[in-house]
Structures are given as C-alpha cells and as structure tokens.
Amino acid sequence: MRTAFIQQLIKEAETNDKIFLIVGDLGYHVVEPFRDKFPKRFLNAGIAEQNMIGVAAGLAKEGYNVYIYSIANFPTLRCLEEIRNDVTYYNGSVKIVAVGAGFAYGSLGMSHHATEEIGIMRTLPNMVVASPSDPGEAQAVASFTANYPGSMYIRLGKAGEKQVFPDNQEKLQLGHLHCLRESDSKNILLATGSILFDSVNQINELSIDTAIYSVPFIKPLQTEQLLKLAEKHPNMVVIEEHQKSCGLGCAIIEQISDLYATGRLKNYPKIHRLAINDEYVHIAGSEEYLRKFTHLTLSKDLFC
C-alpha cells in the first residue's frame, strides 16, 4: 500500500511542482524514487518528528503541498501539539502519511501499534482523515490529496496488502463510501483499512449475504450516501483495526444518530462494532495473530 501511494505521488509531482515530501529517516526502498527524481522537493528531517511538523507547516505557508511520511504512531501521537497549533489551526496544506496502521508493526510491541490515532486526528478541526483499504485506493487517495489544499491524515498499511477492488480504480470523492459488493439483504459491512481483505474472505467462507463497502474517508462521511445505506441495510456491521473509542464505528453512530434525531432517518438501524476494546495489547506478534487475539473476526451471528 505504501509503495502504491508513493508511486502515485511521483506521478502527481511530475505535473505539480508544489508537492514536497519529508521523511523521518525511514522509508528506504520506497521513497528513493521520489528523492532521486525531485531532490529539491525532498527532505530527510531525521528522527525529529515534532520538528518535521514545524518544517512542513513553514513550507505550506510558502505555498507547498507538503507530505510527511513516517511510521503511524510517530507523526501523530508524538506531534499532536504541533499538528494542532501549526497545521490544522491554519488548515495548512500538510498531509500526514502514516505507514504501519493498526498492528502492522505488531512484532515490535505496543510502542509501535497505531490503534488510537484515527480518534485523535478526527477530533482536530480542519483535519480530513483517510484510510484506504487496498493499494488501488491508496493510489486514488494520493491522487485526491495532490489537489486538496487543506490538512489531511492518511493512514496506510505497511507492505504486501492485497488488491481488493478491480485495477480500474474510480476517482474517490471526499467522504464517499466505496462499494465493493451490492446486496438486497438487510446486511451491510463497513470496513476501513487493510482489514477489509480479511473481512471479505471471512464473508465468502461463511457464505453471508451482505453488501460490502470500504470507507476510505472516515472524516468527513457523505451524509446522503450513509442515509441511503442505513435505510436499505438496517443491520450494519462496522470493522476496524482501531480502538472502539472514536474510530470509524463512532463516526458512523454519530452520523446515524444525528440523522435519526432530525427525523431524516425514520428507523434506527442495528450497528455492530468490531474494534479493539478499551485496553492495550501487551503482547508482540504478527498483524494476523493480533487481529485474532483482539477478536477482529466476523461471525455469522452478526448478520441477520
């Protein structure tokens, strides 16, 4: 997923001379093609993420569309004050590209888990939160960000994620929920991030009749589309590799609740949330192992 994103960013930078990439002394074998092609628009800021945010904010003030690239927990949790005061307060054109979302770096332990940062980032005013589900969506998000003038958080997997959608990717619209499979059943699965691939396999193995949608943008969500989906599929299952607090499931519930409270949604749907419970995962292991350990697996009883 990270390779697909950088490859698309290189394509965008060929025609957009305002794209600037900063890395935190990582990304080797991924970012070198950008560095070699655009050496004057590339900077290795070293292991100094808070400073990196300040540099990015300054470049954005000078008219650049700046991308910060680092392992997911470092450019978010370590830099929250700088992001809040230097980037989103001014809605600066800074894109925080976080690789290794969720348990992707699970073998390195809790310090490298990125399982709270969706909630943190989506509470910041002006911050768009994107979480593509496969390499194709990562490319589509990169294409979208190249011409988006504001602040964004982009949550990517690590490497080796499988393609879920067909290769002929459609352009993503801000907040749009991306349909993988339609269904006339009451069920709908909403997933964000690379866990979509495993979820689709589980759906197929269990022979569950359900619509399946990826949620590449967690903030904002297109209200009209969500309204139509809630009316058509009153049994909603939301899965994410993130804390249950303030993640995708919460974003869905908040929107649904507002639609119901204002009378636009007549019947409140069932919303099942599969996410990490309110606890730290104290063990190290592969992403696949930690997903099972935290019960991020689908079962037939969730679907009517």
Does 170 map to a domain? no
Asked if residue 186 and residue 107 are part of one domain, the reply reads no
- pTM, two decimal places: 0.95
Indicate whether 159 pLDDT > 90: no
Asked if residue 245 and residue 196 are part of one domain, the reply reads yes
Whichever domain contains 110, its CATH number is: 3.40.50.970
Does 106 map to a domain? yes
Asked if residue 88 and residue 223 are part of one domain, the reply reads no
Does 165 map to a domain? no
pLDDT at 21 (0 to 100): 97
At 112, is the secondary structure helix, strand, or coil?
helix
Amino acid at 94: V
Does 173 map to a domain? no
Indicate whether 1 pLDDT > 60: yes
Whichever domain contains 238, its CATH number is: 3.40.50.920
Asked if residue 182 and residue 148 are part of one domain, the reply reads no
Q: How many domains is the chain built from?
A: 2
Mean pLDDT for 212-219 is 98
Does 228 map to a domain? yes
Indicate whether 168 pLDDT > 60: no
Separation of alpha carbons 281 and 113, rounded Å: 9
Asked if residue 17 and residue 137 are part of one domain, the reply reads yes
pLDDT tens-place string over residues 116-126: 999 999 999 99
Separation of alpha carbons 112 and 106, rounded Å: 7
**Main-chain dihedrals φ then ψ at residue 280, nearest 5 degrees:** -90, 145
Asked if residue 205 and residue 92 are part of one domain, the reply reads no
The full DSSP string for 23-42 is ESS--TTTSHHHHHH-GGGE
Choose one of 87, 121, 155: the last residue of a domain: 155
Asked if residue 41 and residue 126 are part of one domain, the reply reads yes
Please report which helix (H) or strand (E) contains residue 157, including its range.
Answer: none
**Domain that includes residue 223, residue range:** 178-302
Asked if residue 192 and residue 131 are part of one domain, the reply reads no
DSSP state of 265: S
Does 37 map to a domain? yes
Does 31 map to a domain? yes
pLDDT tens-place string over residues 244-269: 999 999 999 999 999 999 999 999 99
Indicate whether 71 pLDDT > 60: yes
Does 281 map to a domain? yes
| Contact status, residue 122 vs residue 251, Cβ threshold 8 Å | yes
Asked if residue 145 and residue 21 are part of one domain, the reply reads yes
What stretches of 146-242 show up as alpha helix (H) in DSSP?
A: 195-206, 223-232
Asked if residue 183 and residue 149 are part of one domain, the reply reads no
pLDDT tens-place string over residues 271-283: 999 999 999 999 9
Q: Which residues contact 69 (CB under 8 A, 6 or more apart)?
A: 6, 21, 22, 23, 24, 26, 27, 31, 75, 97, 99
Asked if residue 183 and residue 92 are part of one domain, the reply reads no
Asked if residue 29 and residue 141 are part of one domain, the reply reads yes
| Contact status, residue 177 vs residue 226, Cβ threshold 8 Å | yes
